[in-house]
Structure 1
């Protein structure tokens, strides 16, 4: 049994347990202190998540129909303030999926963003598209537009819905199958497939595999209990993990593009972006301990401050409905995620 805390300059656990961030307190009790779900402290922290901090501020701005912002353009219009983005944040922060407001948000996304034909998620409702063509918007529910599905959005919505209690829903199972069916793991330049769904999103699918799609899909599959994983899911996990290990987590072959990820600057919540800490978190959650992770691990440890804290380096603050921590300041979320990695890898 390794002493994973020996890699800390100081132990920040008490700081993470402070009452000001009930989500971090809740996950620290579970993941760092190994408290059971029925422990009174855990129960209390979980209850407070819905009443203190970020989540009640987001839910206060929810429309009666379960959405935020535009009801039919919930991804691009008012980016990071629409419904799809709120679902990611609510799932990250541990929102109670039994709450009716959370259920309404989940059902809204399933009814308006999911393409009923394929199971993938679109950034826009098909009614919005048909309304623009006819010059008359119609607000009835009819699913996401088939031609505008996005792989990273599909992965993020699938993960969010799993976290929010929808794993066994047949609509979510259909989305999981879509992700597995269409994912590529090619690493050499070549002619990208030209059929649906690849043809519309060359930047997403491109000539080489997009790491974001792999990572966000791994994130969704890692949320599924072992007993519920199919052989196809396990095969994807093995291929996806090996792909990222071959790149030593943060080393990529594709040339940088505008807005490309800052892999070595840690952020929360990452939304569609990725960083090395997120990949380390996923691989260790899936049980991987591989020497190809060492360089990224050493870099993660080196970013620790004397107080045993990590800094928020990347953020979408100013674009969210409400800010989440402060850029350039010690981050409870980044610190919690770093401690999770250390404990899983060195324990």
Structure 2
């Protein structure tokens, strides 16, 4: 474990400060000092450097038609591009960039005032039509101190009878989606941490029950694993669901782990490699600003950090 922590601490500042906070007993001042580096060094600073004129890549969810990758295409050009404003802000939120850093504040002011959704031209923090997109928008809006109150109310009104959400509800679907539900839950969690009311907490708990009832991966109807891809761990997760993302969400809200998480936790344990790390798997294809890690099948600092902190939370509660 000690050697793995040393390896993690050789990574980007966005990794290091979270290792210090979640896996060690480092004091809060030292953690904060390391976190402050995210906006000025490494991956976080590189993402902030790509901001221009109120957006990343000239678009809200998709790059603008005149945008060209500054370093040439990186990633799979046949996949979804992950370089526009929403996926970039989600990544900065995952990095834990300081929302009060002057560069961050200036960028978010520009997004709020200038960025528009491709779907209908709405202002960025007013949201779009799909709840998976809007869940991500609430998450970054709450994290970066933007007004997303009306968007939250919209999501609360779109919760389905089974407790989750689905982007296909507008087309008549009455069953929730794991992908959409985790995106909305993360948004409600971040909003609630800024002072959201009891209606938000109640909706979040109903959404959590949707996942728990299915043990984070199984169909309610047959008990079978709904999608084998959910048993592989990717980073960045984008809008996709997997059980490590689900477990890291439950860890982030805290409390005593629900017994129905046990199967997913056992699966995480089973994926640990001989040297104590977890691999990068199932990278979601598409253009990216730059590669964060060395590709599928190689040891992943992000997956290792997330797996270790989930297991620490779960095992500490069992003691």
Equivalent position of 1:285 in the other structure: 252
Q: Aligned ranges for residues 13-162 of structure 1 at < 5 Å?
A: 13-18=5-10, 20-39=11-30, 42-63=31-52, 65-70=53-58, 73-77=59-63, 79-111=81-113, 122-124=117-119, 126=121, 143=123, 149-162=129-142
Residues 34-79 of structure 1: per-residue CA shift (max 9 Å, x gap): 434323xx2332232223221222222221x231222xx4213462
The CA distance in 1 between the partners of 2:107 and 2:221, in whole Å, is 36
Task: List aligned pairs for 1:192-207, cutoff 5 A.
Answer: 201-202=170-171, 206-207=173-174
For 1:314-325, list aligned pairs within 5 A: 314-316=282-284, 319-325=287-293
Structure 1 residue 281: deviation in Å?
Answer: 1.2
Instruction: Confirm or deny that 1:308 pairs with 2:294.
Output: no
Point out where structure 2 has 5 or more consecutive residues left out of the alignment.
65-80
Unpaired stretches in structure 1, ≥5 consecutive residues:
1-7, 115-121, 127-141
Match 1:297 to one of 265, 269, 283 = 265
CA distance in 2, matches of 1:50, 1:24: 13
| Whole-Å separation in 2 of the counterparts to 1:24 and 1:299 | 23
Q: Please list every run of at least 4 consecutive aligned residues from structure 1 whose deviation after the TM superposition is greater than 4 angstroms.
A: 144-148, 224-227
CA distance 1:316–1:57, change in 2 (3 Å):
farther
1:271 to 232, 235, 238: 238
Contact 2:54 2:115 in 1 (8 A): no
Residue 267 of structure 1: how far off its partner (Å): 0.7
1:261, CA displacement in angstroms? 7.9
Partners of 2:127 and 2:137 within 8 A in 1: no
- Structure 1 residue matching 2:217: 3-state secondary structure: coil
Per the alignment, do residues 45 and 228 of structure 1 end up closer, same or farther by CA in structure 2, a change over 3 Å counting? same
CA positional deviation for 1:330:
0.7
Structure 2 CA distance for aligned equivalents of residues 323 and 185 of structure 1? 40
Query: How far is 1:156 from its partner?
Result: 0.6
- The two structures have a TM-score, normalised by structure 2, of 0.81
What pairs up with 1:165-244 in 2 under 5 angstroms? 166=145, 169=146, 171-186=147-162, 201-202=170-171, 206-224=173-191, 228-244=195-211
Task: Name whichever structure is richer in helix by fraction.
Answer: 2
Displacement of 1:123 in angstroms is 4.5
TM (norm. structure 1) is: 0.75
How far apart are the structure 2 equivalents of 1:150 and 1:294? Answer: 31
| Cα distance change of structure 1 residues 254 and 84 upon mapping to structure 2, 3 Å threshold | farther
- Work out whether residues 32 and 339 of structure 1, in 8 Å CA contact, stay in contact via their aligned partners in 2: yes
Q: Does the C-alpha gap of structure 1 residues 262 and 109 become closer, same or farther in structure 2, counting only changes over 3 Å?
A: farther
Q: Partners of 2:111 and 2:281 in 1: how far apart?
A: 30
Q: Distance in 1 between matches of 2:107 and 2:241?
A: 24
RMSD: 3.1
